[in-house]
Chains A and B, each alone.
Chain A
Amino acid sequence: MPQSGIKLWPSSRAGACTICTCAPAWQCSTHATGASAITSAKTGATSRHFNQVTIRLQSILTALIMSPQDPSLWIILGIIGLLTFAIRLSFIEWLGAKKIPAVFTHTLRFVPLAVLTAIIFPEIFMRNGEMAVNLANTRMIAGIVAGLVALRSKNVLLTIAVGMGMFWILQVVTHAAN
């Protein structure tokens, strides 16, 4: 998983409980509540404790605008799951009597076509973020061959088999040629 450079979850040492340094201040079970007040007179830990809570809230917000890492990734996946369930439940539970506008029905047909092709094109026509429309691009050639197989056969399994097979053969051939 790529590292975003920004810590989404504060590490256990930074801002650890000022008494026992066992865990981030808000997680220290022994000194959770009173600790910061007790030590604040000496070290000003109250503000540090407050900072830790803000960082925790921030981490969830950051997950929305930065690439989420392990703990916040669970939250993102949970939201995606809930939304998916809500879409499936929508007419069954809440909108049963409503009629879907024809525009909506029409438009939805294009969603998978546009989204999936928007994923396919950069995968096969680009390498390392640069356009790579040339015969040395094995992914492009294997992708086009797979497209032709899909067009003629309309067979999903055959398309995957030929596409991957073609890709592996071309990989081996180009390796041997170099």
Chain B
Amino acid sequence: MRRTEFMRGWRDELPILLGVLPFGVIYGALAIKAGLPPLMAQLMSCIVFAGSAQIIQTRLVAAGAPGLIMIVTGFVVNLRHALYSASVAPHVRHLSRPWKWLLAYLLTDEAYAVVITRYTSSERVPSPDFRHWYYFGAGMALWTTWQLSTAAGVFLGAQIPESWGLDFALPITFIAIVVPSLKDRAGMAAALVGGLVALAAFGLPLKLGLIVAAIFGILAGMIVSARRR
């Protein structure tokens, strides 16, 4: 039963892995281009284990941003995981602490998407309930892919010459993530204001522009959504 749940989680994660693979490679290559030592680039994928946060960190390192800005940015960008944590909490309440900590570590956007579908499906709850093995399987599939694709990117990053303009993969990747999720006015306002303030605030010292722009963008989104209600 444990084995079947684990394998099932792993299998359900597979289609998503195809989309994760290029991000890992892009992250690894950008980290090397930003001047991170290869070991640090690879271990960041274990320590932080969060795609867009890691890619943003490479840019902050390259720009020479202060540590505090890196920490605050990382915190803000990953804050959405609190939502996932709240959402899966009732389903893992009965587990031991080591299990909870392990599953929390594996809680990413991509694992959450698959796991919550399993937990909330109308399928009869199996007895005994081994669905945490499903979660573990999905999480491990993603973790393994992320580590391997990072390694590939670290390797490639060292080979690709500067003239290829690999750093352009960063805005392009983010465009590919952001544009499809612009579904309503409030979201568009958040994105547009965030972008415009970032242009206006680019000259701020200590790379503060990003955080300032993020705050204005979030406020814009809140104001627009409050007005429409």
Task: Give the interface of A toward B (CB within 8 A).
Answer: 1-2, 4, 63-68, 70, 72-81, 83-85, 87-93, 95-96, 98, 100, 105-126, 129, 131, 139, 142-143, 146-147, 150-151, 154, 156-157, 159-160, 163-164, 167-168, 171
Within the complex, what minimum Cβ distance (angstroms) separates A85 from chain B?
A: 6
In the bound complex, do residue B92 and residue A118 qualify as a contact, i.e. CB atoms below 8 Å apart?
A: no
Given contacts A70-B37, A89-B85, A160-B22, list 10 more A-B pairs with CB under 8 A. A1-B35, A65-B206, A80-B70, A81-B44, A106-B222, A112-B177, A116-B191, A120-B175, A126-B202, A168-B165
For the complex, would chain B's binding face be called helix, strand, loop or mixed by DSSP majority?
A: helix
Q: Which B residues are in CB contact (< 8 Å) with A74? A: 40
Residue of B nearest to A154 (CB): B180
| Number of residue pairs spanning A and B whose beta carbons lie under 8 angstroms apart | 289
Which single residue of chain A is at the shortest CB-CB distance from B207? A67
Q: Could you say which of A2, A64, A108, A147 contacts B80, with CB atoms under 8 Å apart? A: A108
Assembly CA distance A71 to B44 (angstroms): 14
- The listed residue (A72, A83, A143, A146) touching B75 by CB distance below 8 A is A83
* Complex CA distance for A119 and B191, rounded to whole angstroms: 10
CB distance from B59 to the nearest CB of A (A): 7
Decide: A93 near B104, CB < 8 A? Known: A111-B79, A113-B217, A167-B165.
yes
Q: Name the contact of B172 in the complex, choosing from A73, A83, A146 (C-beta under 8 A).
A: A146
7 A-B residue pairings within 8 Å (CB atoms): A1-B35, A65-B67, A67-B64, A79-B71, A84-B75, A121-B196, A167-B165
Contacts of A4 in B (CB 8 A): 64
Nearest Cβ on chain B to A11's Cβ, whole angstroms? 19
Interface on chain A toward B: helix, strand, loop, or mixed SS?
helix
**Which residues of the partner chain B approach A167 to less than 8 Å between Cβ atoms?**
165, 168, 172
CB–CB B67/A108 < 8 A: no
Q: Mark B169-207, 1 if CB is under 8 A from A, else 0.
A: 111111111111110001100111111111100110010
Residues of B within 8 A of A123 (CB): 168, 170-171
User: B57: which of A80, A108, A117 is its contact (CB, 8 Å)?
Assistant: A80
Interface 0/1 of B23-50, CB less than 8 Å to A: 0001000000011110010011001111
Assuming the A-B contacts A64-B67, A160-B173, are A118 and B180 also in contact, with contact meaning beta carbons closer than 8 angstroms in the complex? Answer: no
Does the CB pair B19–A111 fall under 8 Å? no
Contact B88 A80 (CB under 8 A): no
CA separation between A157 and B180, bound complex, in Å? 12
Hey, which chain B residues are within 8 Å of A95, CB to CB? 86, 89
With an 8 A cutoff between CB atoms, is B100 at the interface?
yes
Inter-chain contact B217/A114, CB cutoff 8 Å = yes
B192-A117 in contact (CB<8A):
yes
Contact B191 A113 (CB under 8 A): yes
Q: Is B81 an interface residue (CB 8 A)?
A: yes
